[in-house]
């Protein structure tokens, strides 16, 4: 089975990190990591009043086997659903010695 995602802007539209949504996006949420015994918020991972299409979190290194996004509110919550397209968790490589 193949799933695809497509945005159709009908005409050329510039999309960037500052692109904002008007409906269906998640407005209040928490990004959390698993400690082995409990879920904790990543530093800076509690978001309220969000209108951004893309959110980036930079925080001190931590070790975990799982991450999750806990959605607490969305703009179009009449249907009791929210939309998350992608989650990436990345680490940087070894920093060069100076």
Residue 64 pLDDT greater than 60, yes or no: yes
Which pLDDT value is given to residue 17?
62
pTM assigned to the model: 0.70
3-state secondary structure of 56: coil
Q: How far is it, in rounded angstroms, from Cα 64 to Cα 34? A: 6
Which pLDDT value is given to residue 1?
44
Q: What is the mean pLDDT of residues 67-91?
A: 77
Note the pLDDT tens digit of each residue in 4-57. Answer: 444 555 666 666 666 666 667 788 889 999 999 999 999 999 999 887 777 888
Tell me if 32 sits within 8 A of 45, measured CB to CB: yes
- Specify the DSSP class assigned to residue 37: S
Residue 8 structure tokens: 């159709």
Domain boundaries, the chain: 26-76
CA angle 80, 85, 89 (to 5 degrees): 120
In terms of pLDDT, which residue wins out, 82 or 48? 48
Tell me if 89 sits within 8 A of 81, measured CB to CB: no
């Amino acid at each position: 089975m193949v799933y695809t995602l497509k945005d159709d802007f009908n005409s050329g539209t510039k999309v960037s990190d500052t692109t904002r949504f008007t409906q269906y996006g998640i407005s209040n949420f928490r990004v959390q990591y698993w400690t082995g015994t409990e879920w904790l918020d990543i530093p800076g991972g509690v978001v309220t009043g969000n209108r951004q299409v893309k959110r980036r979190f930079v925080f001190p290194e931590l070790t975990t086997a799982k991450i999750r996004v806990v959605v607490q509110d969305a703009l179009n919550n009449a249907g009791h659903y929210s939309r998350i397209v992608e989650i990436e968790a990345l680490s940087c490589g070894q920093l060069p010695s100076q």
